Chain A
Amino acid sequence: MVALPKEITVEESYLEGGGLWGWLTTTDHKRIGVLYGLTTLVFLLIGGIEALLMRIQLARPDNTFLSAHLYNEMFTMHGTTMIFLVVMPVGLGFFANFIVPLQIGARDVAFPRLNALSYWIFLFGALVLNAGWLANVAPNAGWFGYANLTESYYSPGLNIDFWTLGLLISGVGSVMAAVNLLATVINMRAPGMTFMRMPLFVWSVMVMFVLILVAFPPLTVGLIFLMMDRFFGTHFYRAVAGATPLLWQHLFWLFGHPEVYIMVLPAFGIMSEIVPTFSRKPLYGYPVMAYSTALIGFLSYGVWAHHMFAVGMGPVADSAFALTSMLIAIPTGIKIFSWIATMWGGDLKMKTPFLFALAFLIQFTMGGLSGVMHAQPPIDLQQTDSYFVVAHFHYVLFGGAAFALLGGLYYWWPKVTGRLLDERLGRWNFWTIVIGFNLTFFPMHIMGAEGMPRRVYRYPGDMGLNSLNMLSTIGAFLMAFSVLILLINIYKTRRRGAVAGPDPWDGRTLEWSIPSPPPAYNFKNIPLVRARDAFWREKYGYEQPPTAAPAPAAAQAVEHIHMPPPSLYPILIAAGITMTGIGFMLWPRIVVTGLVLTVFSAIAMAFEYPEAGAESEASIGPATGLDTRKVGIWCFIGSESLFFASLIATYMIYKGRDLVGPTAETILNVPLTTTTTFVLLMSSLTMVLAQDAYRRTDRTWGLRWLFVTIVLGLIFLGGQVYEFASFYHEGLTLQTNLFGETFYTMVGFHGAHVAIGVIVLAVLAGASLAGWFKVRNRDVAVEAAALYWHFVDIVWVVIFSVVYLMRAIAKA
Chain B
Amino acid sequence: MTSQAETAGGVGPQHQSRTLAYLVVAGLLAILTAMEVWASYIHALRPILVPLLVVLSGAKFALVVLFYMHLHYDSWTFSAIFLPALLIAVIVVISLVALMVRFFAGF
Contacts and interface: CB of A to CB of B under 8 A. Distances in A.
A214 B64 contact: no
Nearest to B9: A696
A512 B40 CA distance: 64
A642 B75 CA distance: 23
A247 interface: yes
Interface string B30-50: 100100110110000010011
Nearest to B7: A695
Contacts of A358: none
Find the residue from B64, B65, B93 having the highest chain A CB count within 10 A: B93
Interface string B48-83: 011001101100110011011100001101100110
Nearest to A777: B7
Contact of B69 (A653, A695, A791): A791
A421 interface: no
Interface string A626-648: 11001100110111011011101
Q: Which of B23, B25, B88, B101 has the most chain A CB atoms inside 10 A of its CB?
A: B88
A806 interface: yes
A798 B92 CA distance: 15
Contact of A630 (B30, B46, B78): B78
B55 to A, nearest CB: 10
Nearest to B83: A638
B13 interface: no
A783 B68 CA distance: 10
Interface stretch (A49-57, A313-321, A727-735): A313-321
Contacts of B100: 244, 246-247, 250, 653
Contacts of B68: 684-685, 687-688, 786, 790, 793
Nearest to A183: B81
Given A689-B22, A777-B7, A250 B99 contact: yes
A422 interface: no
A706 to B, nearest CB: 15
Nearest to A688: B68
A731 B85 CA distance: 38
A350 interface: no
A313 B106 CA distance: 8
A801 B53 contact: yes
Contacts of B85: 213-214, 637-639, 641-642
A247 B85 CA distance: 22
A624 interface: yes
Contacts of A456: none
Contact of B50 (A696, A793, A806): A806
A540 to B, nearest CB: 33
Nearest to A210: B84
A801 B57 contact: yes
Interface in A253-267: 254
A214 B96 contact: no
Interface in A754-812: 776-777, 779-780, 783, 786-787, 790-791, 793-794, 797-798, 800-801, 804-809, 811-812
A797 B61 contact: yes
B104 A798 contact: no
Nearest to B1: A625
A642 to B, nearest CB: 5
Given A695-B7, A801-B53, A244 B103 contact: yes
Contacts of B22: 685, 688-689, 692
A646 to B, nearest CB: 7
B81 A250 contact: no
B93 A305 contact: no
A484 interface: no
Contacts of A687: 68
Contacts of B39: 805
Interface in A655-699: 657, 670, 674, 677-678, 681-682, 684-685, 687-689, 692, 695-697
A801 B103 contact: no
A687 B22 CA distance: 10
B92 A649 contact: yes
Given A634-B82, A797-B61, A626 B19 contact: no
A186 interface: yes
A48 B91 CA distance: 38
Contact of B99 (A214, A302, A305, A783): A305
A652 interface: yes
Contacts of A624: 75, 77
Contact of B30 (A681, A783, A790, A812): A681
B57 A800 contact: yes
Nearest to A630: B78
Contact of A809 (B15, B50, B57, B60): B50
A682 B99 contact: no
A628 to B, nearest CB: 12
Contact of B89 (A247, A645, A670, A806): A645
Contacts of A316: 102, 107
B66 to A, nearest CB: 11
A301 interface: yes
Interface string A230-259: 000000000000001011001000100000
Contacts of B107: 312-316
Contacts of A302: 91, 95
A89 interface: no
Interface in A418-447: none
B5 to A, nearest CB: 10
Nearest to B74: A630
Contact of A631 (B19, B56, B77): B77
A783 B3 CA distance: 10
A648 B11 contact: no
A807 B41 CA distance: 11
B95 to A, nearest CB: 8
B89 A186 contact: no
Contacts of B102: 313-314, 316-317
B60 A797 contact: yes
Nearest to B107: A314
B82 to A, nearest CB: 6
B93 A670 contact: no
A607 B19 CA distance: 30
Interface in B1-30: 1, 3-4, 6-7, 10-11, 15, 18-19, 22-23, 25-26, 29-30
B67 to A, nearest CB: 8
B72 to A, nearest CB: 12
20 contacts: A250-B96, A250-B100, A302-B91, A302-B95, A313-B99, A315-B107, A625-B1, A627-B3, A641-B85, A645-B89, A648-B93, A653-B96, A670-B40, A688-B68, A695-B6, A696-B15, A697-B7, A779-B7, A793-B68, A805-B37
Given A186-B81, A214-B85, 10 more contacts: A210-B84, A313-B99, A624-B77, A634-B81, A637-B82, A641-B89, A645-B90, A800-B57, A805-B37, A807-B40
- Which 4 residue pairs spanning A and B have beta carbons closest together? A314-B107, A638-B85, A645-B89, A801-B57
